[in-house]
Chain A
């Protein structure tokens, strides 16, 4: 980002300074500059003012092409086998499913430091946008559709993640904690989650689907197979199989 920013400063700063300088130098009341009222063209200036921006945008364009491909959020990160996480946006909270570990959590996302994370993201409600600002960019979460994101934390710590796309009354509080921890701590966290008495099933899912703000963290020790894919698929076609709890809060 700062490369692009600095490159543009090369044009922006001179423009601002020249504007102020010209305004002062050629002021009608006592300005010192020459006065050429009929001077309205100069091939050299014309070529320069078209040329410089074209060259700059040309440089930026190649840079953009490379960076867009290098930083494509869908591209798996190099390194060890990624930890797969499935995120479902609810009103107004996040459900995280760890399909390989057969657990799920609400509003708490823990992962080992240095481990690539591979997210599949969808929404049960309005469009959301999933983001952990400290780790990288955002991606939309849309009902009936699946988007992907690959992230990795290089340091241990607690970060805030949130929905970035306005989605209703509870939007402001739709945050979660992203915990980057050592492998040992993660294993301890995992066994803690597995001791939970709650299981993710139709009843508990209906319960967490009820619109609520600032929802507390919850752990589920088991998850039905293909839960995420089924939540994506159920929007396609089966109009009448609709979750009655997923309704606007103010009705």
Chain B
């Protein structure tokens, strides 16, 4: 605490407002306008009560899932704006400044990575898990519905802190990985890194609880007869992801907390002097960071598995292989973290072992690709948008897998590490792998959530823009990386790089068209929702239990929890014409009551984070007090369920 801090406002002052550049200022204005616009709109529509009771305090996993996905889509746009700004900067900054000063460029690449991983991909995944898994396993809700709401609100608080950083103060300049000692106070004294730390710490707590919630839900709340080896693949991958979350997220909590202690209390975990150890941060961060990649991509694999079987009108090929491959990937993901820093100077033995361990992951991943391929073999393939994204994924993903194996070879890594080759590789995994999966899931399950389908044409347009845009944006980066271009470069003097960077910018523009198509798709579909309506609850001729109920499902999901006797039980029931038998239940049907716990903890998380960023300690302690009081208060609430038996059957078709 080297700066003079006032008791009331900490180190927050008028200089925190973004008047330093017009780009930053307009970013702040857009953010503010978005926030105010939303408030005005809700007020104008007179929907505050409906919003509060229907959504904000809801503990229904379906509502929470939708809120997660809305958050993810908003943050996707925000993160993409960062991306296209970087591409524009690099396309024009050969031998000149470009339009972004270094410090602003640094904030942009830091916030792009942070948003896309923590506040786009994670909420998108959690949202899909939330909406679908209880439906797929025949459960009425998740195991801990209120905890689920708290998880969402903590994620929201983290995202909120990110957005606030755009208006008040600056964001981190240390990249999404926040490597010390650069991220320490010695080199970056402002509030930026603190915003980064606290936004991911607050949301990370929520994510850990999500992991616990879903492991319990999947292992304990399945319908009778839903054996583990009868679970849909998406549920399996969700289970593996959740287990990874439980074991991996403590490492993120520990590494970022220690960084915060260094910065705020002058400790010496990762400082250059005072006995700090920088490499320890990298170990801790990547012990979380590598499993995180699989936390994100396994559910996407699950979605592809569902989509490829449904739209090939065929049973999933090699189900046991896919399950074992998923489990093997989950275990191996903890054994490879060192490949993120081969160049730290470890011995050849260590590097070779971690390199080989990394390549071994290619085996189960390759098996998965082949299993999807043979699911298509002798099928009847319908090219609906989710299937387009899946086919696109299979073609692009193997390219990313190949560049990943190359990066895992230490001698090659020495030349390609820190270059745009690396950037191209992980975007190749995260865009066609993770994001295509989530978008496929979004388009696949949208009719379940809202009772009408999404427009096909705009969906297909979006796919083609994303696919071609991705190729144009990232294939040049592979080439640039091999030419030795470092990542995170604000300007450069090599004339050979510029044409390729311009191509990459064009690619980013096509991706922009892809995002606009997504918006158009939603707009057009909502407008034509009467024509696109789905009365059956099963628009795709689905195979799993979520398609056995009306769309949107009633708040209690299943009027009668089904008894399952095989994999794809719903599909078989359709073929045989005999509905799934109903399980006996010994209690009246009830659903959890709304709870203010979620918003309370969100406010608390926001206060703690904002207070700690600006050294406004009373606010941080107030946040902590709210959290503790809320938990204690909640423990005194006796009645947490509403009986809804009388409504049962009212919506049965």
- Report which A residues bind B (CB closer than 8 A): 1, 4-5, 8-9, 11-12, 15-16, 18-20, 22-23, 26-28, 31, 33-42, 45-46, 49-50, 52-54, 57, 60-61, 64-65, 67-75, 125-127, 129, 131, 133-134, 136-140, 142-145, 147-148, 162-173, 175, 235-239, 242, 246-248, 250-251
A60 in contact with B405 given A35-B379, A50-B321, A136-B414 (CB within 8 Å): yes
Q: Taking the complex as formed, is B395 at the interface, i.e. its CB lies under 8 A from any CB of chain A?
A: yes
- Report which B residues bind A (CB closer than 8 A): 102-103, 106, 173, 175, 179-182, 186-190, 272-275, 278-279, 312-319, 321, 341, 343-345, 347-349, 351-352, 355-356, 359-360, 362-363, 366-367, 369-371, 373-383, 391, 394-395, 398-399, 401-402, 405-406, 408-415, 417-419, 483-484, 486-493
A57 in contact with B360 given A8-B405, A40-B317, A173-B491 (CB within 8 Å): yes
12 additional contacts (CB under 8 A) given A1-B412, A35-B378, A72-B347: A5-B406, A12-B402, A15-B394, A40-B318, A45-B374, A49-B370, A125-B181, A139-B414, A143-B181, A144-B272, A165-B418, A168-B187
Decide: B356 and A27 in contact? CB cutoff 8 A. Answer: no
A133 in contact with B415 given A26-B312, A31-B381, A49-B366 (CB within 8 Å): yes
Pick the 5 closest A-B CB pairs, nearest first.
A137-B414, A133-B484, A126-B182, A49-B370, A40-B315
CA gap between A73 and B102 in the complex, in Å: 32
CA gap between A237 and B343 in the complex, in Å: 26
Decide: A172 and B490 in contact? CB cutoff 8 A. Answer: yes
Q: Please name all residues of chain B whose beta carbon is closer than 8 Å to the beta carbon of A236 when the two chains form the complex.
A: 275
Q: Please name all residues of chain B whose beta carbon is closer than 8 Å to the beta carbon of A131 when the two chains form the complex.
A: 484
Decide: A49 and B371 in contact? CB cutoff 8 A. Answer: yes
CA gap between A235 and B378 in the complex, in Å: 66
CA gap between A148 and B343 in the complex, in Å: 10
Q: Please name all residues of chain B whose beta carbon is closer than 8 Å to the beta carbon of A74 when the two chains form the complex.
A: 345, 347-348
Q: Please name all residues of chain A whose beta carbon is closer than 8 Å to the beta carbon of B487 when the two chains form the complex.
A: 166
Decide: B414 and A138 in contact? CB cutoff 8 A. Answer: yes
CA gap between A170 and B182 in the complex, in Å: 13
16 contacts between A and B (CB under 8 A): A4-B409, A12-B398, A12-B402, A16-B394, A18-B373, A23-B381, A26-B376, A31-B381, A33-B377, A45-B318, A50-B367, A75-B348, A126-B182, A143-B181, A171-B102, A251-B189
* Residue with the greatest number of chain B CB neighbours at <10 A, chosen from A69, A138, A173, A247: A138
Residue of A nearest to B183 (CB): A126
Residue of A nearest to B375 (CB): A40
CA gap between A31 and B378 in the complex, in Å: 10
CA gap between A69 and B391 in the complex, in Å: 39
Q: When the two chains form the complex, which single residue of B188, B360, B411, B486 contacts A68, counting CB atoms closer than 8 Å?
A: B411
Q: Please name all residues of chain A whose beta carbon is closer than 8 Å to the beta carbon of B312 when the two chains form the complex.
A: 26
Question: Closest Cβ of chain B: how far from A134's Cβ, in Å?
Answer: 8
Q: Please name all residues of chain A whose beta carbon is closer than 8 Å to the beta carbon of B381 when the two chains form the complex.
A: 22-23, 26-28, 31
CA gap between A165 and B422 in the complex, in Å: 13
Q: Please name all residues of chain A whose beta carbon is closer than 8 Å to the beta carbon of B179 when the two chains form the complex.
A: 127, 165
Decide: B395 and A19 in contact? CB cutoff 8 A. Answer: yes
Q: Please name all residues of chain A whose beta carbon is closer than 8 Å to the beta carbon of B375 when the two chains form the complex.
A: 40
CA gap between A139 and B488 in the complex, in Å: 18
Residue of B nearest to A70 (CB): B411
